[in-house]
């Protein structure tokens, strides 16, 4: 599932490509991806509205319109937004120019398309159809259930604030606490493994039992890992692609995620192990990551 770096990369791409353009029409062969309102009402609501810009809220993309409305997009497991020229053929939209939009098989699961002024399109590719799109009326952003319970952002929370948040979940395993969007927003499976490895903290360590010096190191590691993910335009080990259909490169810089059986990059003699923590995989080095 796309995490903070992938969503940030997408938002940056939206602001570079579709900001200032007008939505002329909307097509979908899977209208269930639009959760509220109904697809016909969504289509009517966004037509002829100008895109003012996009921002990120946790793992959510918020596309602000000239009407004061906001399109909320959560890419879920396999979704990503793509910008380019598309054509409708036999009831399906497909990219009309050569390149990654057309050639990369992960970019071919087009289920919703915005036709934009200027002759191009914004398409939503989602292989498993788990993506979520909503149209929020003016004033609903702060009150909608998707956003109102989201915790402080992982890149804006202060170090004292971060320590306080962990303290509120003192009995929770740190891997699960970091991934809890109501505690701190934006972190998922990949980046939690990477930051815990960097900070030398076992994924099953109780949040309340981590020393203050380790909490400070985890805070620093969290920022370092997430900023590195943004710098490499996200992680494309699986489905994620940027707005132009290109793969991110963070998967080439993993220290621990999906490294089971490999020697630890810290050269401490450890071998990376994998176990399930709270229903999710956790990769760690048992030599320098201990409870």
Catalytic residue among 3, 132, 169, 203: 3
Q: Which residue has the tokens 């289509």?
A: 43
CA distances from 242 to 17, 179, 186, 239, 291 (A): 12, 23, 17, 10, 37
CA distances from 209 to 169, 192, 206, 291 (A): 11, 18, 5, 9
Q: What is the DSSP string of 45-90?
A: HHTTEEEEEEEEETTEEEEEETTS-EEEEE-TTTEEEEEE-EEEET
In contact, 7 and 235? CB cutoff 8 Å: no
Catalytic residue among 2, 56, 194, 241: 2
CA distances from 23 to 49, 95, 231 (A): 6, 18, 30
Catalytic residue among 49, 56, 59, 169: 59
Cβ burial, residue 150 (10 Å; 0-12/13-18/19+): middle
Q: Which residue has the tokens 């710098």?
A: 231
Q: First and final CA of the chain: distance in angstroms?
A: 27
In contact, 192 and 223? CB cutoff 8 Å: no
Q: Is 3 a catalytic residue?
A: yes
The encoded tokens of residue 164 equal 């306080």
Residue among 161, 79, 86 at smallest CA distance from 124: 79
Q: Is 59 a catalytic residue?
A: yes
| Residues annotated as catalytic (active site), given as ranges | 2-3, 59, 280
């Amino acid at each position: 599932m796309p995490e903070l770096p992938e969503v940030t990369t997408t938002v940056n791409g939206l602001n570079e490509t579709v900001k200032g353009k007008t939505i002329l029409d909307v097509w979908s062969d899977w209208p269930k991806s639009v959760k509220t309102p109904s697809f016909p009402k969504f289509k009517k609501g966004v037509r002829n509205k100008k895109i003012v810009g996009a921002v990120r809220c946790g793992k959510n993309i918020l596309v602000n319109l000239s009407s004061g409305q906001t399109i909320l997009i959560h890419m879920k497991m396999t979704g990503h937004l793509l910008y380019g020229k598309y054509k409708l053929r036999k009831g399906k939209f497909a990219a009309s120019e050569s390149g990654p939009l057309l050639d990369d098989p992960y970019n071919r699961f087009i289920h919703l398309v915005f036709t934009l002024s200027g002759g191009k399109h914004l398409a939503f590719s989602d292989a498993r159809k788990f993506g979520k799109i909503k149209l929020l009326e003016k004033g609903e952003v702060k009150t909608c259930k998707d956003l109102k319970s989201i915790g402080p952002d992982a890149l804006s929370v202060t170090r004292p604030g971060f320590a306080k948040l962990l303290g509120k979940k003192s009995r929770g395993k740190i891997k699960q606490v970091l991934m809890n969007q109501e505690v701190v927003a934006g972190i998922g499976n990949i980046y939690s493994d990477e930051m815990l490895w960097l900070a030398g903290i076992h994924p099953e360590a109780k949040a309340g039992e981590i020393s203050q010096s380790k909490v400070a190191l985890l805070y620093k590691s969290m920022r370092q890992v997430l900023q590195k993910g943004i710098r490499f335009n996200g992680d494309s080990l699986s489905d994620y692609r940027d707005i132009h259909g290109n793969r991110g490169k963070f998967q080439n810089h993993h220290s621990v995620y999906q490294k089971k059986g490999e020697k630890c990059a810290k050269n401490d003699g450890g071998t990376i192990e994998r176990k399930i923590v709270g229903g999710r995989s956790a990769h760690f080095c048992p030599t320098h990551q201990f409870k």
